[in-house]
Structure 1
Amino acid sequence: MGDPQPLVIDATGRDIHGEAARIRARGPVTLVELPGGVEAWAVSSPDLLKRLLTDPRVSKDPRQHWPKWINGEISPEWPLFTWVAVQNMFTAYGGDHKRLRTLVSKAFTARRTAALQPRIEEITESLLDRVEEAGRSGQPVDLREQFCYPLPIQVISELFGLPEEQGAELRAVVDGIFHTSATPEEVTDIYTRFYAAMGELVALKRKSPGDDLTSALIAARDDEDDTRLSEQELLDTLVLMVSAGHETTVNLIDNAIHLLLTHPDQLAQVRSGRAGWDDVIEEALRVEAPVASLPLRYAVEDLAVAEFGGPEGVVIGKGEAILAAYAAAGRHLETYGADADRFDVTRANKEHLAFGYGVHHCLGAPLGRLEARIALPALFERLPGLRLAAEQGESEPVDSFISNGHRTLPVRSA
């Protein structure tokens, strides 16, 4: 296993891939220290991750299986508090997870996702009009701010029936949840504001229901049977769907654009027809996982890692936390070869874990892919001369070890 001391995770996420390489170098599973001195086992082997993520002896419910939570050692000021405190399918285990996911799946159907395509195309074209207009000034345009961010946020807002006037507040609180180096005061403030916003939304939709997911979830909450959502589960499901529903897609679109602009040879492969946009999307998801590391899971009992194909002698103890290291797994040398760090749209093996695996596989993955499949070709067709305004490597990462994207994406279109 190498160094017995935990590798201290940089809460600001300034060097996600350098840190991922250090995690991999310590073996397929290694101890890390999260913000607040909380220790967890980071798993970077894709095969080992798959086995652990599908084993019933690995839980996502801290209330049942994490002694630190049960004993009151995790306070609301902890930067990752919201990630473990919510009561929804993200933190549910066993029968509870099946119940919650079934209820949400009834509202968030494949048909509803597919029906969004014309509206996503319309929003995309409208945003590109603005980007094109802004580019005429000769000044750089921040594509993350003007395109990558507003597309998913508008889609998710319309999908859940969020009032336009809540847009700025929604963005602020979602950014706050992914801000993993936040101060205790900031954490408490964001937590309070997010629940206030979701409470207002539920009250509005109870009074005036519509053809939106919030109204559908309220209907599931108000059904008089044993499977219904509790009021807390309803609010926490909205927190999950609204936050995860756009942050990951923002990063997917942002990273794909940045990769293509910094790898013109790969963009040429797409333009020549030797690779398709789905190839771009899947390779971007592999090499730049939108969620770099996802907290947390917990061992229901002692787990000998060798049983899952890992190294002999390593045991994840009962109640110990597990961190899915997706960014590290996406560039795993044994899985993808010596060029695992390279963005290659013609790569044969683009399989990845960017949307999770097993029963907790991201329910919104089809929507995220659909948005990227519409946004990317539309952007590069409309603005064929698109190029980065900053030199390669100058785009700073977002302040998070969970969220993997850029703070800004300055471009010129002519």
Structure 2
Amino acid sequence: MPAARTPHRLDPAGGCPHARDARLLAQGSVAPVELPGGIEGMVVLGHEALKEFLQHPEVAKEARHFTALREGRVAEGWPLRTFATVPGMTTADGADHRRLRSLVSRAFTPRRVEELRPRVEELTDQFLDGLEGAARQADGVADLRRHFALPLPLAVIGELLGVAAEFRDRLHRLGAKVVATDTEPAEAVAANRELVAVLGEIAAAKAAHPADDLTSALIAAREEGGDRLGHQELIGTLLLMIIAGHETTLNLVTNAVRALCAHPDQLDLVRAGRAGWADVVEETLRWDAPVSCFPFRYPVRDLTLDGTLLPAGTPVLAGYSAAGRDPAAHGPDADRFDVTRPARPDAVRHLSLGHGAHYCLGAPLARMEAAVALERLFTRFPGLRLAVPESELAPHAGFVGNSVRDLPVRPLPLAP
């Protein structure tokens, strides 16, 4: 077994993950890390190792397996505590996980997602109007993340859940604080409490006045089944769906636009019909994964993965951004953005939306939204380009999400 590696301290402020990923991956597919607060953890970086880990029968999601948490060494305001403790399908195993997942899975089948396409297209055009309007008021420059990449998935998941528009920006702001890794403890506690209170208010309103939406359906399932969905599970499920339902797509669209602006030759391939918008989405997911290091899974016993020991109870991160650029899986040009990249022989092109029982439930919706958004964006603004050099874009805060804080663009109607 190789010599023990010095734990890499993950910067709570985040930053672009790719240089860090390459450095760690060059030393092995699994690495020890120091989480905020001095908590010892691990990250799985290699594609094959991560694929094995994500479906390993002796790896769990329930927080009772998290040794440091069980022993009281994790403070209430620890910035990653919500990831570990929020009640819902992301922290459940076995029958509980299947029960919770089944309650919402019907809303995300390929057929149901395809039925949403006309509304997604309508909302896309609406927010493209907003992007153009913002640019006209600011010398031709607008923040694409703020005016387009954020409001589109937020509106889609909001309508699916029946969350009124006046709640959505507040939910995004609070959710961003809850999942950030650099939020101060007192602020994290306050944001989490306010978020739970807001979701409780939404749930109470839906219980009093049910409608044709997923929140009402979840409440009805709870009432009909008695013990099928408790109040905390309801709030946890809403929290998960609202945050995961827009943050991943927000980063995906932002990263895809950045990639295409930085690689105009790849955009030309799409316009020439040599690749489709779905190919752009998949290559972006691989090359610049919207989630870099996702918390947590816990070995239920000591495990050895690719020659590295993962002690039982260790919080382990899924290193999606590293796996996406793993040369062992994607070849010596893994760090090159290529929309014509052929699918792997085993049909696992990337792991950026997960793998196994906890595969991202909203993957079909995220893929459809992103493809629609990109096609309509570049059709309407064929000359769209970044308004600042790529090097000046500030990375997303924290080490969980992977994107930039804003994306100033010039949405030109005609190619220059």
Is 1:277 equivalent to 2:271 in the alignment? no
* Counterpart contact for 2:106–2:112, Cα < 8 Å: no
Matches within 5 A, 1:249-398: 249-305=249-305, 310-311=306-307, 314-349=308-343, 351-398=349-396
Q: 2: distance between equivalents of 1:190 and 1:282?
A: 33
Matches within 5 A, 1:97-112: 97-112=97-112
Pairwise CA distance, 1:51: 1.2
Q: Which residue of 1 aligns with 2:140?
A: 139
SS at match of 2:78: coil
* Counterpart contact for 1:16–1:401, Cα < 8 Å: yes
* Counterpart contact for 2:108–2:364, Cα < 8 Å: no
TM-score, with length taken from structure 1 = 0.95
SS at match of 2:189: helix
Q: 2: distance between equivalents of 1:111 and 1:230?
A: 29
Q: How many residues align?
A: 406
Q: Which residue of 1 aligns with 2:84?
A: 84
TM-score, with length taken from structure 2 = 0.95
Pairwise CA distance, 1:126: 0.9
* Counterpart contact for 1:161–1:214, Cα < 8 Å: yes
Matches within 5 A, 1:236-255: 236-255=236-255
SS at match of 1:22: helix
SS at match of 1:56: coil
Q: Any idea what the Cα deviations from partners look like across 1:259-279, whole Å, max 9, x if unmatched?
A: 000111111111111111111
SS at match of 2:225: coil
Taking only aligned residues, the RMSD between alpha carbons, in angstroms, comes to: 1.4
Q: Any idea what the Cα deviations from partners look like across 1:44-92, whole Å, max 9, x if unmatched?
A: 11111111111120001112x1221222222221000110111111010
Q: 1: distance between equivalents of 2:297 and 2:411?
A: 44
Matches within 5 A, 1:12-27: 12-27=13-28
Q: 2: distance between equivalents of 1:380 and 1:347?
A: 21
Residue type of the alignment partner of 1:39: E
Specify whether residues 93 and 394 from structure 1 end up closer, same or farther in structure 2 by C-alpha distance, changes over 3 A only.
same
SS at match of 1:296: strand
SS at match of 2:389: coil
Q: 1: distance between equivalents of 2:221 and 2:150?
A: 30
Q: 1: distance between equivalents of 2:76 and 2:110?
A: 36
Q: Any idea what the Cα deviations from partners look like across 1:346-383, whole Å, max 9, x if unmatched?
A: 11137111111000000001110110111101000000
- Between 1:95-104 and 1:260-269, the stretch displaced more is 95-104
* Counterpart contact for 1:256–1:284, Cα < 8 Å: yes
* Counterpart contact for 1:23–1:42, Cα < 8 Å: no
Q: Which residue of 2 aligns with 1:70?
A: 70
- Between 1:368-377 and 1:1-10, the stretch displaced more is 1-10
Residue type of the alignment partner of 2:155: Q
Q: 2: distance between equivalents of 1:67 and 1:193?
A: 28
Q: 2: distance between equivalents of 1:175 and 1:249?
A: 14
SS at match of 1:399: coil
SS at match of 1:90: helix
